[in-house]
Amino acid sequence: MTIRQRDELLKKWKNQLLTRKETLLTEVKRDTDALMNDEHQFTDAVDMASAETEKSLAFGKNNRDRQTLEQIDAALKKIDAGNFGECVQCDELISDARLDAAPFTTLCIDCQTELESEKQRYPSGRNP
Residue from 16, 32, 89, 106 touching Zn ion (CB under 5 A): that is 89
**Contact between 106 and Zn ion per CB under 5 A:** no
Question: Which has the closest alpha carbon to 10: 108, 109, 103?
Answer: 103
Residue from 90, 93, 95, 113 touching Zn ion (CB under 5 A): that is 90
Q: Which stretch binds Zn ion (CB under 5 A): 33-41, 44-52, 74-82, 89-97?
A: 89-97
Nearer to Zn ion, 27 or 86 (CB): 86
CB of 110 to Zn ion, least distance (A): 5
**Contact between 115 and Zn ion per CB under 5 A:** no
Residue from 85, 87, 99, 104 touching Zn ion (CB under 5 A): that is 87
Interface residues toward Zn ion, by CB under 5 A: 87, 89-90, 108, 111
